[in-house]
Structure formats: C-alpha cells, structure tokens
Amino acid sequence: MVVSRARDGLLEAGITDGGVLLMVVSLARDGLHEAGITDGSVLPMIVSRAREGRLEESITDGGVLAMVVSWARDGLLQAGITDSGVLAMVVSWAQDGHLEAGITDAGLLAMVVSRARDGLPVPGPGKAIGGGYY
C-alpha cells in the first residue's frame, strides 16, 4: 500500500519523517531499489507485492512493516541488507535512536502507513522539496 499510495501521489503531503520512507518508495517506483538491498531481505518482497497490487493482502496495521523496524532495532536485518541500501539507513537510524523523537515505539513504518491512510501528517523534521523529501 505504501508504494501504491505513493504512485497515486497520496503520500507526499503527509510524510515529514526526514524523507527515508519516501526515498525508499521513490527508488522502488523507479526500479532502482534492488541495487541497494539484497534479494534476501523483507522490503523487496513488499515492493514486489506492491507492484503486483497485492500488498494489502500481506500487511495489516501491525504487520510486516512494523516487523522490519523491530528486526532492525534487534540487529537482525544486517545480514540481508547491503551497506549501500536505503533500508540500511533506516536500520541505522532506528538503532541509533534518531527515529524515536517524533515517532512512537509501536513501529515507525506502520505508523507512517496508518497516518498516510488517514490523511494525517507524520511527526518529524523533513521538509518538502519538489514533491519529495530530502
């Protein structure tokens, strides 16, 4: 849903978390995502399901995206993600506690999805530049 909503232009207005998620979505949309993330990780599966229009089947409000962040905090994702990947940046920020200030512990990405679905802004330091967040 994250990727499909981004394709429909519904995420740009509400996500202000510093741009990581939107950058992930943008890279996925442009077909560049696989360059930074190995085939064994969770996110390419999410992207693949989104491209096939089947993402809603695999993610509930507390599902896969929250698990990605949880695994990152527990240090379980490094084996499946290369250092150059965008998700690795999410992992690093989560581990360093940089994502905690404006976002609850219940799951960064799940909260972003929930707020985007409801049309609510996501707390954070990001700013819009040309339709994206950097």
Q: Which two tokens stand for residue 33?
A: 């995502």
pLDDT (tens digit, 9 = 90+) per residue, 73-126? 555 544 444 334 445 555 555 555 444 333 333 345 555 555 555 555 544 433
Listed residue (123, 118, 109, 122) closest to 59, CA to CA: 109
Q: What is the mean pLDDT of residues 29-41?
A: 45
Confidence of residue 45 (pLDDT cuts 50, 70, 90): low
What is residue 133's predicted lDDT score, i.e. its pLDDT?
A: 36
Helix (H) / strand (E) element for 129: namely: strand 128-129
Question: Taking the C-alpha atoms of 12, 18, 20 and 23 in order, what is their torsion angle to the nearest 10 degrees?
Answer: 40
* Angle, helix 108-118 to helix 64-73, in steps of 10 degrees: 150
pLDDT (tens digit, 9 = 90+) per residue, 122-133? 444 333 323 333
